[in-house]
Amino acid sequence: MSAVSVISRATTESVAPPERIRFWEDYNREALVGLSCTSYSEQGLLARQTNIELAGLRLADIAGNAHVIERSPQTVRATPKDSVFASLLLKGEAVFLHEQGCLAVTAGELVVYDTHRPYLFGFSSPMRQILVDIPRELFTQTCLAGELPRPMAFGRSTAREGLLVGALRSRIGGLVALRQDLDPTAAERVVLDLLVQLTEERTGGERRPDAYSSQLIVAEEYINTHLHDRDLGAAQVAGVLGVSVRHLARIFDSTGRSPTRHILERRLVRAHQDLTGPGARQTTIADVAYRWGFSSQAHFSRLFRARFDMTPTEARANAAGPTPLAD
């Protein structure tokens, strides 16, 4: 398995303030895309960027103070680039201006757009984004045949859309953190499939068969963020994904567990972490059971002992700290 690799890094912090804009524009022209930049800060542009190679994709982790970047018609002609960008805003607020209108973007949302069409991306406060650079040929082969009709923002229209963006954020976040357990080729496939699922409904394209790998990531993301919900079950997860309970079971085949068993396992692992981690003796077993969606302390204790071969009380007794609260 090849590793995710850093292509280049750059920061304006060591550059004299009057030279920062020109430095940033020159760097991006070579490393990412031709653009012009404006900053209204008295400090000038303070920005840093890491570019990462991922099989056929590239990722750019970009952070900075408030600024504006523009790819004007003149810039598009002078520095052609035939890619589709998927920009995930992790911090800050922004506006995205294009030929057909304007999009307001907040942290947690994704914007997908063409680089061969003019645009302006303005960040009104300190920002961070992860940008996925998808070559045109790869995008049309795997995501959407033909032209992207317009820039599109994703993240809040539906629960399923928010879940897909969250799964994408989780996966590419692991990639820019250079996690060595991630296979670049497999990760690329998942990133592209998540983008397929996001764009297909907006563009009216023919729905393609969903890859189980990306659906599993989305399901796990939803489960991990809803473990506290006592009503969480296979039917609820399937409903959010827009699939049947039977199809959800097929998605989980590769894990060797049913969706119901996966939910139970994740709850027990979280409970075990609470009972053995810092501050474990400052909480009651009943609190831990309730926190992770178990119907009763007795039911929780039986399942915990079957999973870890010890009772919750015995697990907590191994944690350092003062005398535990009464249960």
pLDDT digits (tens, 9 = 90+) for 76-89: 999 999 999 999 99
Looking up tokens 């692991």 gives 174
Residues 238, 149 within the same domain = no
Question: Could you tell me if 9 and 147 lie in one domain?
Answer: yes
What are all long-range contacts of 224-233, with beta carbons under 8 Å and residues at least 24 apart? 224/266, 225/166, 227/263, 227/266, 227/267, 227/270, 227/292, 227/293, 228/291, 228/292, 228/293, 229/293, 230/293, 230/295, 232/263, 232/293, 233/259, 233/260, 233/263
Q: Is residue 137 part of a domain?
A: yes
- Domain-terminating residue out of 154, 185, 214: 154
Count of the separate structural domains present in the chain: 2
Share of the chain above pLDDT 70, in %: 91
Residue 327 lies in a domain: no
- For residue 116, being part of any structural domain is answered with yes
Percent of the chain with pLDDT over 90: 54
267 and 149 co-located in one domain: no
Q: d(Cα 190, Cα 125) in Å, to the nearest integer?
A: 31
Which of 93, 119, 154 delimits the end of a domain?
Answer: 154
- Assess whether 19 and 140 both reside in one domain: yes
Q: What is the pLDDT of residues 109-156, one digit of tens each?
A: 999 999 999 999 999 999 999 999 999 988 888 877 667 888 999 987
pLDDT at 33 over 60: yes
Asked if residue 238 and residue 150 are part of one domain, the reply reads no
> Which domain range does residue 255 map to?
234-317
Per-residue pLDDT at 207 exceeds 50: no
